[in-house]
Structure 1
Amino acid sequence: MTILVVGATGETGQLVVKQLLDCGEKVRVIVRYPDKLSETILSHQNISIITVGNVLQINKLEMRDYVKDCDAVISCLGHNLTLRGIFGPPFKLVTDVTKLICHAIKENKPQRTIKYILMNTTGNSNKNQRETVSLAEKCVLGIIRLLVPPHRDNEKAADYLRVEIGQDNLEIEWIAVRPDSLLNLEEVTKYSIFPSPIRSAIFNPGKTSRINVAHFMSELIINEELWEQWKGQMPVIYNENSVVEGGNT
């Protein structure tokens, strides 16, 4: 199996790549700075590195070549947590790359369905579900949506998959994985998956380790039964202690 990973030099992206390589999969990455990848990844026999100045500068024909022969795509793209990264262009990085890749997949007319996993956030509600959000949280999220472009970008990217790709697309199946507040741990720990948040992303957030997110996304690609369980959905992932402490709040 060959998996294309974008956002591979990020903290979660590198963990995803390593998980897939450890499972014996072939991984193709699109990166601006290959030297940001770990030596373990760079020296692996199953890694293929595509170096580009800016992923948004890739044209449609080039992207068609990059996704050709890929069985799945994982997007761990995000905005840099700096003033320029949060408030400066590109404002629709995640959305535009998601559209570009999906268009390329469809133009290739694959003979099999391609899997697409988008790393998203619990701050984004799944509008296909009746997710309960308090009035206070709606107000805060509305302000964030207005003032913080990356949040709006995350919402638009998931909406594109949810509405434009939809549930019955013969060429692309998708899952948008929603972690809560991210933290770094060295090892995979117990975690739980829910269809919708069980905690308030604003007033009672839980914790999700990046390595657990990477493990879950890798398992979605490798485990066909798990994929069938969650395809077309926006599962929420929490570290186990967040579930115990949070309850159904």
Structure 2
Amino acid sequence: MKVLVVGASGATGRQLVNQLLIQGNEVKVIVRSTQNLTELWKNNDKVQIITASLLELSEEEMSNYVSDCSAVASCLGHNLNWKGIYGKPRKLVTDATKRLCSAIKNSSSKHPVKYVLMNTSGNQNRDLNEPISFAQNCVMCLLRLLLPPHVDNEKAADYLRTKIGQNDTYIEWVAVRPDGLINENEVTEYVIYPSPIRSAIFNAGKVSRINVGHFMSELINDDNLWSKWKGQMPVIYSKASVSNSNLSVVLL
């Protein structure tokens, strides 16, 4: 299977690409610079590195890049500095999602293309009317006012929910919501839930970036797992951060 990954130079994107390669996939990555990429990718015949600014690609170029891919994964995010949070492009994740989905449709694939979006546990799945406390709702309102990246994540997922929906001919999607990202060197046990089981603001759990990359890769490669979660926004936690009383719905 050939997979296009955007945001591959980021901390989680690198983990996703590595997991895809471990599972035998061919991978295309679109990056603005190859400076931070591992030499193992540059010397790997299964990795095609495209050096470009994603939002500056023409519609034709974008369609060409996705035309032979069975899946597209986005690990795009904003850098945690002043320019990354308040500078342009403020709608990086949303605009990239819209453009990539449009390119998939224009490529007229004979089979639905899987689109996997890395999102955040701080974003509600409004299809499920997920309850949150009054205090958390107040904080979320402040985040929407003060932090453009949070709004960007919300709008990207909303685009998949409301514009692509559940029955699109060309695109099937999953928005993965990690909680409390940390760095670890190896894949560990993790658990998946349809909705958050803890407050993303006041009682956040933890999940390693390598576990997120592994789960996203599993979604792309395992059709049974994909069928279970397509059109949804699963939340991922490392097992160690979840109490034993909540482990009855462990999926892996």
- Fold-level match, TM-score > 0.5? yes
Other-structure match for 1:97: 96
1:18 counterpart = 2:18: yes
CA displacement at 1:130 relative to structure 2 = 2.5
CA displacement at 1:44 relative to structure 2 = 1.3
Q: 2:94 aligns to what SS in structure 1? A: helix
Partners in 2 of 1:221 and 1:199 — Cα distance? 27
Q: 2:242 aligns to what SS in structure 1? A: helix
Q: Which sections of structure 2, spanning at least 5 residues, go unmatched?
A: 248-252
Other-structure match for 1:4: 4
Q: Residues 184 and 245 of structure 1: is their aligned pair in 2 closer, same or farther, counting only changes over 3 Å?
A: farther
Q: Which sections of structure 1, spanning at least 5 residues, go unmatched?
A: none
| Residues 206-245 of structure 1: pairs in structure 2 closer than 5 A | 206-244=205-243
Other-structure match for 1:47: 47
Q: Residues 131 and 61 of structure 1: is their aligned pair in 2 closer, same or farther, counting only changes over 3 Å?
A: same
* Counterpart code for 2:152: D
After TM superposition, what 4+ stretches of structure 1 lie above 6 angstroms from structure 2?
none
* Counterpart code for 1:244: S
1:110 counterpart = 2:109: yes
| Residues 72-221 of structure 1: pairs in structure 2 closer than 5 A | 72-221=71-220
Partners in 2 of 1:151 and 1:169 — Cα distance? 26
RMSD over aligned CA atoms reads 1.2
Kindly tell me the number of residue pairs found equivalent between the two proteins: 247
Q: 1:188 aligns to what SS in structure 2? A: coil
Deviations 1:177-227 (A, max 9, x none): 000010000000010000000000000000010000000000001110000
Q: 2:35 aligns to what SS in structure 1? A: helix
Identity value in percent: 57
* TM-score, reference length from structure 2: 0.96
Partners in 1 of 2:180 and 2:30 — Cα distance? 26
Q: Residues 34 and 174 of structure 1: is their aligned pair in 2 closer, same or farther, counting only changes over 3 Å?
A: same
Partners in 2 of 1:179 and 1:43 — Cα distance? 31
Partners in 2 of 1:246 and 1:83 — Cα distance? 41
| Residues 55-70 of structure 1: pairs in structure 2 closer than 5 A | 55-70=54-69
* Counterpart code for 1:77: L
Partners in 1 of 2:213 and 2:137 — Cα distance? 29
Q: 1:36 aligns to what SS in structure 2? A: coil
Deviations 1:8-56 (A, max 9, x none): 000010111111111111000101111211122221120001111x211
* Counterpart code for 1:165: I
Partners in 2 of 1:107 and 1:229 — Cα distance? 27
Q: 1:20 aligns to what SS in structure 2? A: helix
* Counterpart code for 2:23: C
Residue pair 1:123, 1:202 contacting (<8 A) in 2 also: yes
CA displacement at 1:245 relative to structure 2 = 7.2
Residue pair 1:7, 1:75 contacting (<8 A) in 2 also: yes
Q: Residues 204 and 247 of structure 1: is their aligned pair in 2 closer, same or farther, counting only changes over 3 Å?
A: farther
CA displacement at 1:156 relative to structure 2 = 0.2
